[in-house]
């Protein structure tokens, strides 16, 4: 088990009065939950803390605000220069989005993360790919520092664990992950409602979009790869939003015989595509993603592709499928 050196981060926190926490763009339960737990701890130390997010918090995670009292600040709000900026669950500098300036302006820059492929963009980095979630790292840190755990902190931390592990089901789950989860249950009691809020509780529009998704799914490599591309009109026809398609990559990977899934969505700008990859033991998609300028974990990774004169999306798609086929050991 890798023992992390928390001292530089601990010292930086000690010297800072105003701390800004920066979860990654399209923040998920781990990025927001980890930031929330850390923020509550820092506030209890008398620190002024801002969690600056790129987009409004997804509906299904809004309980972090209502039940744990976390405040997330959108970039349009003026945030003063921080003494310390901590990128939370951010694998790559680009995943700070428009908040790069907030990060750059801070006197001291740090990062807490669990992604294998790391962009070394922060002088103080605590990154351990063995953690199933960044939340597992936050748990380790707060325990080492002797934090007083509260129910809101437990809600935040448990959210990070549950969402990044598919309810403690993925291969990234270790005994330490379960121990962190168990500790949160000891503090907060029944937290099964977090599972319901984040995994069940599907909207009608999500179900409508799921029907479209299954109908549009194509198979490659003799059924070993599932490919799905959803465009703006697919979302419109289902009355769905981006949030409704979260989990689609995992949903496709779960089809019998499928080892790798590719799920493509439109990016923010024209000609931009967001690709998420999921795999089982047959393939390390973080390696493939890195070759295409993306990153992530062995079983879950992402790429952003921008089409230009050099390469169209169709060419990119073919290149990606070919590469995934080659790298598959089944």
CA 297/CA 295 separation, integer angstroms: 7
CA 86/CA 272 separation, integer angstroms: 28
CA 135/CA 137 separation, integer angstroms: 5
Query: Shortest approach of Mn ion to residue 88 CB, angstroms?
Result: 9
Query: Shortest approach of Mn ion to residue 164 CB, angstroms?
Result: 5
217: left (phi over 0), alpha (psi -120 to 50) or beta: beta
Query: Shortest approach of Mn ion to residue 134 CB, angstroms?
Result: 5
Q: Provide the token pair at 176.
A: 């330490």
Contacts with Mn ion, residue ranges (CB under 5 A): 30, 89, 133-134, 164
Query: Shortest approach of Mn ion to residue 30 CB, angstroms?
Result: 3
| CB nearer Mn ion, residue 30 or residue 140 | 30
Q: Provide the token pair at 320.
A: 């990606």
Number of H helices, E strands in the chain: 13, 12
User: Would you give the DSSP letter of residue 277?
Assistant: E
User: Would you give the DSSP letter of residue 2?
Assistant: P
Spatial CA neighbour of 251 closest among 271, 235, 228:
228
**Token pair 């039940």 is at which residue?**
67
Question: Over the range 225-236, which residues count as b (16 or more CB within 10 Å of their CB) and which as e?
Answer: bbbbbbeeebbe
| CB nearer Mn ion, residue 140 or residue 164 | 164
| CB nearer Mn ion, residue 162 or residue 288 | 162
| CB nearer Mn ion, residue 162 or residue 225 | 162
| CB nearer Mn ion, residue 30 or residue 246 | 30
Strand 218-220 to strand 124-127: parallel, antiparallel, or no bridges (unpaired)?
Answer: unpaired
DSSP per residue over 114-126, as a string?
A: --SS-----SEEE
| CB nearer Mn ion, residue 152 or residue 160 | 160
Query: Shortest approach of Mn ion to residue 132 CB, angstroms?
Result: 8
Query: Shortest approach of Mn ion to residue 173 CB, angstroms?
Result: 13
| CB nearer Mn ion, residue 134 or residue 210 | 134
Query: Shortest approach of Mn ion to residue 87 CB, angstroms?
Result: 12
Q: Contact at 8 Å (CB) between 82 and 18?
A: yes
Spatial CA neighbour of 263 closest among 271, 254, 115:
254
Residue nearest to Mn ion (CB): 30
Query: Shortest approach of Mn ion to residue 92 CB, angstroms?
Result: 13
| CB nearer Mn ion, residue 9 or residue 209 | 9
């Amino acid at each position: 088990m890798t023992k992390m050196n928390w001292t530089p981060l601990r010292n930086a926190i000690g010297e800072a009065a105003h701390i800004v926490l920066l979860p990654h763009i399209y923040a998920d339960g781990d990025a927001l939950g980890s930031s929330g737990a850390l923020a509550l701890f820092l506030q209890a130390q008398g620190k002024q803390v801002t969690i600056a997010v790129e987009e409004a918090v997804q509906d299904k995670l809004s309980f972090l605000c209502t039940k744990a009292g976390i405040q997330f600040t959108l970039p349009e709000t003026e945030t003063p220069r921080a003494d310390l900026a901590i990128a939370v669950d951010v694998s790559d500098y680009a995943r700070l989005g428009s908040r790069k300036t907030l990060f750059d302006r801070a006197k001291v820059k740090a990062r807490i993360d669990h992604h294998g492929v790391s962009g070394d963009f922060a002088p103080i980095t605590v990154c351990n790919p063995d953690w199933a979630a960044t939340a597992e790292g936050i748990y380790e840190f707060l325990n080492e520092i002797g934090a007083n755990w509260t129910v809101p902190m437990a809600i935040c931390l448990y959210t990070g664990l549950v969402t990044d592990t598919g309810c403690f089901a993925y291969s990234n789950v270790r005994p330490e992950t379960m121990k962190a989860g168990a500790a949160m249950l000891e503090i907060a009691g029944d937290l099964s409602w977090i599972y319901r809020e984040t995994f069940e509780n599907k909207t009608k529009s999500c179900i409508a979009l799921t029907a479209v998704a299954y109908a549009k799914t194509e198979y490659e490599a003799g059924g070993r790869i599932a490919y799905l591309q959803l465009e703006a009109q697919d979302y419109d026809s289902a009355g769905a939003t981006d949030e409704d398609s979260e989990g689609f990559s995992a949903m496709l990977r779960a089809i019998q015989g499928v080892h790798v899934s590719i799920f493509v969505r439109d990016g923010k700008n024209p000609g931009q595509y967001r690709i998420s990859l999921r795999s089982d033991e047959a393939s390390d998609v973080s390696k493939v993603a890195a070759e295409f300028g993306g990153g992530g974990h062995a079983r879950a990774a992402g790429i952003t592709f921008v089409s230009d004169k050099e390469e169209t999306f169709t060419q990119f798609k073919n290149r990606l499928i070919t590469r995934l086929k080659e790298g598959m050991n089944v």
